[in-house]
Amino acid sequence: MSERQRVYRDADGVRRTLIWDDEDPDAVTVRTEQDVEPILDSVERDRAIMRHDGVNKLLARIPVAIYERAVLEQWDEGDWGKWLNSSEAAPFRIWRGYV
């Protein structure tokens, strides 16, 4: 087995790497990496300064890998609500009410 990797995009804080094996070239994986510290910093800042008493609320800032997972798994509104209410989403939530 000869696994190969190639970074095909590294921009805007997101790095995508294509991974494949020469013995099975039709099976390809894309690894997405993102430094979430800037997102977490902005979430913490916005939790402190944003008002959450209006009709429209900024719920969260979602990392690219989560968005891509949602697209791949074809999440609907219920799936998004489930994820947003989960402990996995808690660090990215700005408004902490129930979705």
Domain boundaries, the chain: 1-34, 35-99
By C-alpha distance, which of 20, 23, 14, 28 is closest to 62?
14
pLDDT tens-place string over residues 3-19 = 999 999 999 999 999 99
Q: Which two tokens stand for residue 36?
A: 């979430």
> pTM, whole model, 2 decimals?
0.80
pLDDT at 1: 64
Check pLDDT > 90 for residue 53: no
pLDDT tens-place string over residues 17-44 = 999 998 998 899 999 999 999 999 999 9
pLDDT tens-place string over residues 59-89 = 999 999 999 999 999 999 999 999 999 999 9
**What type of residue is 26?**
D
* 87 C-beta neighbours (distance < 10 Å), count: 6
pLDDT over 90, % of the chain: 82
